[in-house]
């Protein structure tokens, strides 16, 4: 039995999801017989961790601070063992541009893209290069902030006239944005969990848009507008390939404990990796718990296993 601090909430835009992930993790930890110390992450985090002196921290934060390595850095400093990926992997995952360069260098398929800091537009006239980018990527073009998650700030530009507003929207979430080739196809996610036998990809989840939303890109990514199918029914060996690719990316980015890789199965059969979440959602409707269940791993067992990996890393 351990004294487990559950870090949740925080200041990120995904605060509400994190509160739900955290609450569910707390319930599971109590059922497993642990002592739970819930901590809503804020300005007193360091103070609270010192005062509570937990044996281990379960990081149930999503987005900024929790998923980007900041909280992990503090936990390292305070010598508190913690769940999921370490500082460097969090940084690589949170920055989609960094992750895409790492994947590109390693030969992992990811859609073509061009990324710019705000300063490139303000001081280097990058807007003047938009016609070249548009010619290379072809419309529609996906515009997204380098950071964030849950489809926040993602826009699908259908014509050159849509691009400026899409950029402004993306820049309201981050100082770095990218323009990415649109991949027509099916929306997949493969979660990976560190089991006794090592990092193991779980069954593939497909997000299937509702009929009426099929051609409305934005509506597809609104919460509750997609149905999730797990295991996904995919042609040929696509599911196996998606799992292999997810495992490769998980290792490439240096993830630990658990994580989720988002991909597209492009019409024509190619897989393209979009991004990796170092702390994916753990709510009732989240993809990783659904995939674990499809693999015969109940939620409590999943949480138990994740906690074990945190303690194992600290003991190593």
Ligand X SMILES: Nc1ncnc2c1ncn2[C@@H]1O[C@H](COP(=O)(O)OP(=O)(O)O)[C@@H](O)[C@H]1O
Strands 205-209, 226-229: pairing is antiparallel
Q: Is residue 260 flagged as an active site residue?
A: yes
CA distance 143 to 19: 28
Q: Which is nearer to ligand X, 57 or 84 (CB)?
A: 84
Residues 6+ apart with CB under 8 A from 84: 59, 255, 256, 257, 258, 259, 278, 279, 306, 310
CA distance 27 to 182: 40
CA distance 41 to 11: 8
- List the 176-181 sheet strands across, edge first: 113-117, 176-181, 141-145, 155-157
Residues 6+ apart with CB under 8 A from 160: 130, 131, 134, 139
Task: Report in angstroms how near the CB of residue 14 gets to Mg ion at its nearest.
Answer: 12
Q: Is residue 47 flagged as an active site residue?
A: no
Exactly one of 206, 262, 278, 286 is catalytic; which is it? Answer: 262
CA distance 131 to 174: 23
Q: Is residue 262 flagged as an active site residue?
A: yes
ω into 231 cis (within 30 of 0) = yes
Of ligand X, Mg ion, none, which one does residue 45 interact with (CB within 5 to 8 Å by kind)? Answer: none
Which residue's Cβ lies closest to Mg ion? 262
Task: Report in angstroms how near the CB of residue 141 gets to ligand X at its nearest.
Answer: 9
Q: Is residue 257 flagged as an active site residue?
A: no
Q: Which is nearer to Mg ion, 157 or 189 (CB)?
A: 189
Exactly one of 117, 150, 169, 226 is catalytic; which is it? Answer: 150
Q: Is residue 33 flagged as an active site residue?
A: no
Q: Is residue 240 flagged as an active site residue?
A: no
Task: Kindly list the residues in this chain that would bind ligand X in the complex (CB under 6 A).
Answer: 111, 142, 149-151, 154, 180-183, 187, 221, 262, 264, 274-275
Exactly one of 18, 85, 277, 278 is catalytic; which is it? Answer: 277
Q: Is residue 9 flagged as an active site residue?
A: no
Task: Report in angstroms how near the CB of residue 80 gets to ligand X at its nearest.
Answer: 27
Exactly one of 67, 85, 275, 286 is catalytic; which is it? Answer: 275
Task: Report in angstroms how near the CB of residue 115 gets to ligand X at its nearest.
Answer: 13
Q: Catalytic positions, please? A: 14, 150, 221, 260, 262, 275, 277, 281
């Amino acid at each position: 039995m351990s004294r487990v601090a559950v870090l949740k909430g925080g200041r990120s835009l995904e605060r509400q999801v994190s509160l739900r992930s955290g609450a569910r993790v707390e319930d599971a930890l109590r059922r497993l017989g642990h002592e739970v110390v819930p901590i809503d992450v804020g300005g007193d985090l360091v103070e609270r961790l010192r005062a509570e002196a937990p044996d281990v921290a379960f990081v149930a934060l999503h987005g900024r601070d929790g998923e980007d390595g900041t909280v992990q850095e503090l936990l390292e400093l305070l010598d508190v063992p913690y769940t999921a990926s370490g500082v460097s992997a969090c940084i690589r995952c949170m920055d989609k541009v960094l992750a895409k360069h790492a994947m590109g260098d390693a030969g992992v398929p990811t859609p073509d893209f061009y990324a710019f800091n705000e300063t490139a537009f303000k001081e280097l006239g990058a807007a003047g290069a938009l016609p070249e980018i548009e010619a290379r990527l072809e419309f529609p073009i996906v515009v997204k902030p380098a950071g964030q998650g849950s489809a926040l700030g993602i826009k699908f530009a259908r014509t050159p006239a849509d691009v400026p507003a899409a950029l402004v929207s993306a820049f309201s979430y981050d100082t770095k944005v990218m323009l990415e080739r649109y991949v027509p196809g099916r929306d997949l996610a493969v979660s990976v969990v560190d089991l006794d036998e090592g990092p193991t990809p779980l069954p593939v989840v497909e997000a299937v848009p509702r009929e009426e939303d099929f051609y409305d890109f934005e509506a597809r990514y609104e919460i509750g507008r997609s149905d999730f199918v797990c295991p996904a029914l995919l042609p040929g060996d696509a599911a196996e390939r998606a799992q292999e690719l997810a495992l490769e990316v998980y290792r490439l980015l240096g993830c630990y404990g658990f994580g989720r890789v988002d991909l597209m199965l492009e019409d024509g059969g190619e897989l393209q990796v979009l991004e990796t979440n170092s702390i994916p959602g753990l709510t009732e409707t989240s993809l990783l718990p659904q995939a674990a269940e499809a693999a015969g791993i109940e939620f409590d067992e999943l949480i138990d296993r994740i906690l074990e990996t945190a303690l194992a890393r600290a003991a190593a």
